[in-house]
Structure 1
Amino acid sequence: MPRKRSGKRPVASAGAAQKGQVRIIGGERRGHRLHFVDHGGDLRPSSDRMRETLFNWLQFELPGLRVLDLFAGSGALGAEALSRGAREAVLVEKQRDRSADLNRQLTPLFEGRITVHCADALSWLPAQREPFDLVFIDPPYDLGLVTPACEALEAHGLLADGAIIYVESRRQGEVPAVPAHWLLSKEKSGGDIHARLYRRETGAV
């Protein structure tokens, strides 16, 4: 799952672009490869194994869910959720070229079920009105975006009752601060990644 900054890869020379791909590993589009261009080496690859673990956690929950991939990057999480039965996915990606690339590849693949927004995630959230059932929060490491994203989701009423929230962070970093009524359901570490799955307590205000 190619994602954001970790500092693990060398910075490319000016104007260089590294081409890569990520594979959808389950569901109706299993095996389909999404291609991306990584300008400057700032997308962070996670193993298929970690992504498979996440979707094994979610396998009985996904059908019919409305999903938000808040820091979309390569789009792997949103695409995987749709492939495995999610009703709808909204992807938010700040970088214009990546957003355009997501639109180009994913709109034909999941026609009518996916929307891609080119926007800063924290600026985009306050304008939304319809809640989500599942949210992926996997921002670039070390920018302090997890806690503000969690707070904004709650402040603007964007989580359905009993919503599921996936948070990915640096393994050796501080534990992300999340609302008290988000109950930790699953967690796993692998490489530099620590993955946590929360469920918003039913009836929480």
Structure 2
Amino acid sequence: MRKQQSKKPVSGHIRLISGRFRGRKLPVKDVEGLRPTTDRVKETVFNWLMQDVRDAKVLDCFAGSGSLGFEALSRFAHSGVFFEFDKQVAQQLQDNIATLKLDNAQVEQGDTLAKLAVQAPLQFDLVFVDPPFRRDMVQTCCALLETNQWLSEDALIYVEFERENTPEFPENWTILKEKLAGQVCCRLYHRT
């Protein structure tokens, strides 16, 4: 019988569920607070977005594993920008972009709210807002997206937040879809 070696903490992975990278698994850093969107929720979200992903300019505001942004790129989004605070996680996103050989994706490492606090260099058609929980970032993030013109005229915004803490959203955003999954509320908004 072989002696077991001590194991390093194993990083997880995300699975792309459809599109040109369907079935591909991408590694994810094991970082505290990082909670990739589950396949079940991701499937629901992309069923909601079925007709709207192709050719969309995508912004993944608190990218983490990049699960939502990579899924959009797999489904032929025009381009993807990933904002991520953690350096190691941002590097993993960059590595995954290289693995998939994407020339239409980029990672910007740093504080998302600080990035959104300036006038947008371009507008996005599809935005994912899934910040770390219990840090009250959703309302500020959404206000900055609207105020600093990060959104195209007809943008769709997917938001995840704690069920017990509903933030206020910009008045010109209309809820298209909503799903409760455990302690999480998932909503899709349309900017009008």
Structure-2 separation of matches of 1:18 and 1:179? 40
What displacement does 1:45 show? 4.1
Q: Which of 29, 32, 37 is the equivalent residue of 2:29? A: 37
How does the TM-score come out when normalised to structure 1?
0.86
Q: Which of the two has higher C-alpha Rg?
A: 2
Matched residue SS, 1:168: strand
Q: Equivalences for 1:20-59 in 2 at 5 Å?
A: 20-39=12-31, 41-59=32-50
- Residue 134 of structure 2 aligns with which residue? 142
Structure-1 separation of matches of 2:37 and 2:183? 9
What displacement does 1:128 show? 3.0
What displacement does 1:83 show? 0.4
For structure 1, the 5+ residue unaligned runs are: 1-15
Q: Which of 163, 173, 176 is the equivalent residue of 2:167? A: 176
- Residue 11 of structure 2 aligns with which residue? 19
- Residue 109 of structure 2 aligns with which residue? 118
187-196 vs 76-85, which moves further: 187-196
Contact 2:83 2:110 in 1 (8 A): yes
The 3 A distance-change label for structure 1 pair 137 and 72 is same
Q: Equivalences for 1:88-103 in 2 at 5 Å?
A: 88-103=79-94
Does residue 1:74 correspond to 2:65, yes or no?
yes
What displacement does 1:136 show? 0.2
Q: Which of 113, 124, 136 is the equivalent residue of 1:132? A: 124
Structure-1 separation of matches of 2:37 and 2:96? 20
Matched residue SS, 1:177: coil
Contact 1:107 1:115 in 2 (8 A): no
Contact 2:36 2:64 in 1 (8 A): no
What displacement does 1:127 show? 5.2
Query: Superposition RMSD on alpha carbons, in Å?
Result: 1.4
Report the number of matched residues.
Answer: 184
Contact 1:131 1:159 in 2 (8 A): yes
Q: Deviations over 1:16-42 (max 9, x none)?
A: 744111100111100111111213x32
What displacement does 1:111 show? 2.0
- Residue 159 of structure 1 aligns with which residue? 151
Matched residue SS, 1:38: coil
